[in-house]
Structure 1
């Protein structure tokens, strides 16, 4: 059934984790941009305020110079350089004073920027306009110096100076924002990874694994104790997978029963017909021959009853997922051999070669049924065998361990299986190795082994019968 399921999808490179961390970084960068816009506008207006203030101080210095002294070009150049200005105008009480370099013609301002107008959107637009479209134009910055409310200063400044400062500021803000976004996103990612990504990845991995092999009860997810939506999803997924597992097993049982209807009709009619003939003969006999025919009648009826009972038991068998727990393997084998009447049998030797203290994690009831069916089949084969080699009958169990599996072999020195039984092994109603058998024991044993994530296989040997059970460690 599992082989008909298509291959699992390949793991995508740009998965949930990568999408999450990318989204976090993008959102943080968007927030940083929203913070950056008023920040760069504030930087621009502060820069211009500083130039106006320095220009105002320069104007005060000029006013303090006595009238008998003339300002030299060198002194004027230093004053203008302190304000990074090409020229400045000081207006007080209706009077204007122009300060410019005598040896350099005064440039013509391309536009004016009044620092007294501080509308937020206008400040942002002005900063972006200089940042993206600024050049070597001359701008006229108008403002009021600090502590000089009656003085208005106009400063002619090369726009390239402000643009250079804005570029440096923007670059620093970008790297700082990227650093903050990286650390913040990483911290948020670690939190969300443990809270959401890893549980969701566990859910998706389990769904893929269960889809590939729904007959393996090991693939049913074990829900956590979380009480949030993830916990609800885990518990609902576990319930759904359990229902699917049960329905698949019941479907297989119903299919096997449907195929067996014709055989049940035929065998049951012949068996009960023979019983009826024998009972008629017994009813007409009044001599001691009744004692000879009565056992045959009883045996025939027993076969019919046992056959019907086996079919009913198989139909009522429920595919319940295993409840795993730690079990002592050697003790479990001894108990199963005792239940199958192999251990302490007067004519059969029981050889349990599994070491002590081997602990496995299985459902003890279901695995015990597997061993009991195998041991019972071996006992029945040995009891009907007429040995001529003088060797005492025995049933042996051996253990072989690998890093991934535990391999148990159940072997006897009986007559072995017939070719017909080997061809139909593990098939209900067809794989019986003895006359009158139904083959249900091996079919159920194989089903239980597979429910544990293991296998049950027949090993062809020259003498006797040998089965191998593989269970995951």
Structure 2
């Protein structure tokens, strides 16, 4: 109960209402004390007027008038003459004089609290203005004991009433909070727990229904998050299934290519000059295809092999990529340009860098061919003291918005219709394995430009990821 929101709200409400009642209680008691003393002055004035009307009142009747007024004596000042109208023996000396004509709030509250905290029965003199212009001043002497007891009784009644009001108010607020806040919050918690048991089930996504704006906003945010998570889980499941299928296909394709690789050994011994010239390229292509199958199998196991770093010539790698892509372009009006210093050597895994550049150039070729217009692909490179820079630029239509939003994400960042985006994802992973990065430098209606950075110094993978 105490650990629940409604329980704590009930306790806090009770405490705060009681605190408010206490703050009200102090001036109320001060006002009660003032009214009590004014009533004593009024009664004393009435008693004194009775005596003034008949000077022959005997002593017993005079004492009865004083007892009725609750005072020991009455002094009335009329026409600048101070007159002791009623009197009786005072049991002790006067302890304090109270002038009710000085009725400032702070003074009244201070004197009331002092009277409550002083248990002794003292004799006080009270001064005030007579009612109905019955004189200039009226004074009485009286005991503080009855006054204090009356104040305590009044205070207890006020506190009891305050307690009842606090409990009733807190209970009503408790019911209101349960109906307006706690129950909808429990509904949201229940929906979250139900969704957690089967997040792939779209039927468990919460339907916003709260009438309170803040709760409805929370429900809408939760529904949006659950929808995205359910979609991501389905996408992940499909990717896992597709990865398993690709791994199986790659396994069988690798076996076929290995068999084809055996036949190329005999082709290399042919006397035909054209065959002898094309055979090495065929061997290289089949070797790369076998390596690609091995890599796809590793990617399916989330085990991309680390790069075998060596000094390799970048110009020869780019030349092989351009020659292969030029053959793939066929009769389409597509030109390739290379701006690679002949002496540039990079410290990298030649096969992996070939795959990276090939993937980017292939994407550019496919994007240009899809437009049916002529185009150009340019591969350039430069270096500085810290890194080698490779830039692949095309004059294609640019990446679509979806591809830019999911760049380097497999099966989501495809740049062409039917594309999987796996090439960009693999390229980014391979370059990260070298401690570098692939970034989109530009993509608009004039074309696309990718920039590859390969650091010259050793960089850890966490630093490269950052």
Q: TM-score, normalised by structure 2?
A: 0.50
| Mapping of residues 153-302 of structure 1, within 5 Å | 153-211=138-196, 213-224=198-209, 226=211, 228-268=213-253
1:85 and 2:85 matched: no
Match of 1:97 among 72, 84, 97: 84
Q: Is the 8 A contact 2:51 2:85 kept in 1?
A: no
SS in 2 for 1:78: helix
Which residue of structure 2 lines up, in the alignment, with residue 29 of structure 1? 18
Which residue of structure 1 lines up, in the alignment, with residue 28 of structure 2? 39
Deviation at 1:99, TM superposition (A): 3.3
Q: Is the 8 A contact 2:77 2:136 kept in 1?
A: yes
Q: 2:77 & 2:134 partners in 1: Cα distance? A: 11
Deviation at 1:168, TM superposition (A): 1.0
SS in 1 for 2:132: coil
1:310-369 per-residue CA deviation (whole Å, 9 max, x = no partner) reads xxxxx9xxxxxxxxxxxxxxxxxxxxxxxxxxxxxxxxxxxxxxxxxxxxxxxxxxxxxx
Q: 2:8 & 2:43 partners in 1: Cα distance? A: 51
Distance 1:272 1:170, change over 3 A: same
Which residue of structure 1 lines up, in the alignment, with residue 8 of structure 2? 19
| Mapping of residues 337-356 of structure 1, within 5 Å | none
Distance 1:230 1:268, change over 3 A: same
Q: Is the 8 A contact 2:73 2:84 kept in 1?
A: no
SS in 2 for 1:116: coil
SS in 2 for 1:97: strand
Deviation at 1:272, TM superposition (A): 9.8
| Bigger Cα displacement from structure 2, 159-168 vs 252-261 | 252-261
Q: 2:50 & 2:206 partners in 1: Cα distance? A: 84
Q: 2:85 & 2:91 partners in 1: Cα distance? A: 10
Q: 2:134 & 2:52 partners in 1: Cα distance? A: 17
Gaps of 5+ in 1: 1-11, 275-314, 316-473
| Mapping of residues 30-179 of structure 1, within 5 Å | 30-66=19-55, 69=56, 71-72=58-59, 74-92=60-78, 93-97=80-84, 99-101=86-88, 104-179=89-164
Distance 1:260 1:24, change over 3 A: same
Q: Is the 8 A contact 1:85 1:157 kept in 2?
A: yes
Q: Is the 8 A contact 1:88 1:99 kept in 2?
A: yes
Q: Is the 8 A contact 1:110 1:137 kept in 2?
A: yes
Q: 1:28 & 1:82 partners in 2: Cα distance? A: 39
SS in 2 for 1:110: strand
Q: Is the 8 A contact 1:134 1:159 kept in 2?
A: no
Deviation at 1:134, TM superposition (A): 4.1
Which residue of structure 1 lines up, in the alignment, with residue 341 of structure 2? none
1:254-309 per-residue CA deviation (whole Å, 9 max, x = no partner) reads 344445543222235568999xxxxxxxxxxxxxxxxxxxxxxxxxxxxxxxxxxx
Q: 2:197 & 2:74 partners in 1: Cα distance? A: 82
Q: 1:209 & 1:225 partners in 2: Cα distance? A: 18
Distance 1:59 1:213, change over 3 A: same
Q: TM-score, normalised by structure 1?
A: 0.50
Deviation at 1:149, TM superposition (A): 4.4
Q: Is the 8 A contact 2:71 2:143 kept in 1?
A: yes
Deviation at 1:161, TM superposition (A): 0.8
1:126-152 per-residue CA deviation (whole Å, 9 max, x = no partner) reads 212212234211221111231234242
1:5-34 per-residue CA deviation (whole Å, 9 max, x = no partner) reads xxxxxxx74221112222222332233233
| Mapping of residues 357-396 of structure 1, within 5 Å | none
SS in 2 for 1:240: helix
Report which structure shows greater RCO (CA 8 Å, sep ≥6).
1
Distance 1:13 1:57, change over 3 A: closer
SS in 2 for 1:117: coil
State the superposition RMSD in angstroms. Answer: 3.1
